[in-house]
Amino acid sequence: MSNKTVIKRQGLMRLIFTLSHSFNGLKWMSRFEAAFQQELVLFSLLGVFVWLQKIVLSDKLLLIASLLFVLFAELVNTAVEVVVDRIGSEYHELSGLAKDIASASVFIAMLITALIWWAVLWA
């Protein structure tokens, strides 16, 4: 074990570094992850659609939040896939299961989003 002392960033510097890591993750996803790219396009189109609707602000925010939830689920799904792939490229049942479960989370997020949109706009 090393005798190096780890200095943790605090306050504003910690926030800046955290935001830079978040931005790097979003940038990578936007460049290399096809599903995230498609969901971003859908988010943009539906986001504009929402703001053009004559509905109360709280409903607009709920609809936007539901779209962000899909992007969140895709980020988590890809993170799981990246970690599993980092561990090894050989087939393992648990690796496949982890990827399937992470993918299912995206599907569930999409179902939740569809239900929210139905409830706000058509129910």
d(CA 83, CA 71): 18
R_g (Cα) of the chain, nearest Å: 19
Among the residues of the chain, which ranges form H helices?
11-32, 34-52, 57-87, 93-121
Is 74 an annotated catalytic residue?
A: yes
Write out the two tokens for 33: 């992850």
State the catalytic residue, choosing from 33, 39, 74, 93.
74
Residue 54 gets which letter from DSSP?
-
Q: Which residues are catalytic?
A: 74
